[in-house]
Amino acid sequence: MYTQALDVHGREPVPAAAAEVAAAAARFQARIDADEKIEPKDWMPDAYRQTLIRQISQHAHSEIVGMLPEGNWITRAPSLRRKAVLIAKVQDEGGHGMYLYSAAETLGISRAQMFEQLLSGAAKYSSIFNYPTLTWADVGAIGWLVDGAAIMNQIPICRCSYGPYARAMVRICKEESFHQRQGFEIMLTLARGSAAQHAMAQDALNRWWWPSIMMFGPSDADSKHTAQSMRWKIKRFSNDELRQKFIDITVPQARFLELSIPDPALRWDEATQHFSSGPIDWNEFHAVLKGSGPCNRERLEARRSAHQAGAWVRAAATAHAAKQAARALASQEARQA
Ligand code: FAQ
């Protein structure tokens, strides 16, 4: 694991005394303010490193756990085309998890440590993936709303101050845009289909709307990390700002689909030029975060059993690597003899 002690190779010397730490922190903040990217070997305050490890690893876990709700429908997709697209989409999410684990590793945490945090329940992943996918329309709703919310949150992360995270987000956002379009297309097909299909699309919207709104995190008043993360340009917008942008963009899309948003208080506010919406049920959000959502247990159980089932692959890969290393050493020794 990287520690501050390894930062001797970075731009800044390891600060020893308090005054030196303060000066290094001021230089670090000046680099952030000048929109410079921070790279893995640069000096950084430990709190910045820990914040990024927390956010990037939680983000990676979300992508991995996020494969489960839609993965549930691969065998039951209504056509070969839908099945092929869904397999590709779910596979993309797995890839996003891998880029993000790699980005977090540059901060000094190992992949094994991150897996351990997920499997032990110590690490969070997005609340949204603790809801069930009951019908095919849920696959449409996830693409449209969940990927839509993910894009809204993640486009600004392409400008995050930490280079490896920002760069990983560029490709992820391109793929998420495709995911959002495929979800919207499923919703459009259902909404313009039979009365039963329209009702299925409406039911999915009813169940996914509020959890999607909650994805953006606690309100700004309750968000403990936002202020510091914005100073460090890890976050460029607050949770409420992104939530509002998402609502403003999505309500007209729902109208185009001729579906109603399940919020009786929703209305256009001429004064603010935004939609204003009804209250969010934060009790539900906190219950899901504490592990009491509809699928929390099932999701962690699926990850734990997948990890267990993959033990032989890890053992085989480790044995293979050891064999290769021993062969390389033997041939090096033979050359030197
Ligand atoms: N669920 O002070 P804040 C996707 C936690 S990827 C669970 O506001 P922060 C792709 C938060 O971690 C979706 N926990 O925190 C896909 C913190 O807990 P801690 C994931 C949540 O970090 C689509 C505490 O509450 N996206 O969907 C949630 O400044 C379809 C206090 O909150 C990302 O991870 C939540 N919804 O802001 C895949 C994007 N919200 O650690 C498959 C990157 C908050 O102190 C299918 N992350 N918490 O114990 C972020 O932008 C931020 O981390 C936020 C939270 C905005 C999520």
Strand partners, 277: none
Q: Which residue is closest in CA terms to ligand 1's atom 9?
A: 225
Mean pLDDT of 162-189: 97
Q: Which residues is 269 bridged to in the sheet?
A: 274
Residue 75 has pLDDT above 90, yes or no: yes
- pLDDT > 70: percent of the chain: 95
| pLDDT tens digits for range 267-300 | 999 999 999 999 999 999 999 999 999 999 999 9
Specify the range with the lowest mean pLDDT, choosing from 4-18, 22-36, 116-130. Answer: 4-18
DSSP element (H, E) containing 120:
none
Choosing from 225, 246, 285 the residue with most ligand 1 atoms within 8 A of its CB, the one to mutate for a pocket test is 225
Question: Phi and psi at residue 265, in whole multiples of 5°?
Answer: -90, -5
Other C-beta atoms lying within 10 Å of the C-beta of residue 80 = 8
pTM: 0.93
How close is the Cα of 200 to the center of ligand 1, in Å?
A: 29
Distance (Å) from CA 62 to ligand 1 centroid: 8
* pLDDT confidence bin for 2, thresholds 50/70/90: very low
Of the pLDDT bands very low, low, confident and very high (cuts 50, 70, 90), residue 15 is low
Q: Tokens representing 203? A: 């039911």
**Which atom number of ligand 1 is nearest to the Cα of residue 235?**
51
pLDDT at 23 over 90: yes
Mean pLDDT of 99-104: 98
Q: How far apart are CA 83 and CA 74, in angstroms?
A: 6
What's the CA dihedral at 141, 142, 148, 151 to 10 degrees? -170
pLDDT value, residue 8: 39
Return the pLDDT at 17.
Answer: 84
Q: Do residues 223 and 239 touch, judged by C-beta distance below 8 A? A: yes
275 phi/psi in degrees, rounded to 5: -75, 135
Which of 50, 53, 54, 62 has the most ligand 1 atoms within 8 A of CB, as the residue to mutate? Answer: 62
Output the CA 124–ligand 1 centroid distance in Å. 8
Tell me what the mean pLDDT of segment 36-52 comes to: 97
Which residue, by CA, sits nearest to atom 5 of ligand 1?
A: 217
pLDDT in tens, 211-268: 999 999 999 999 999 999 999 999 999 999 999 999 999 999 999 999 999 999 999 9
- Is 329's pLDDT higher than 80? yes
The Cα–Cα gap between 178 and 184 comes to 10
Summarize the confidence of residues 184-196 as an average pLDDT. 98
**Ligand 1 binding residues, C-beta < 6 A:** 54-55, 58-59, 62-63, 66, 93, 124, 126-127, 142, 146-147, 150, 153-154, 214-218, 223-226, 229, 235, 239, 289
- At 14 the pLDDT is 59
Nearest-angstrom CA–CA distance, 119 and 216: 23
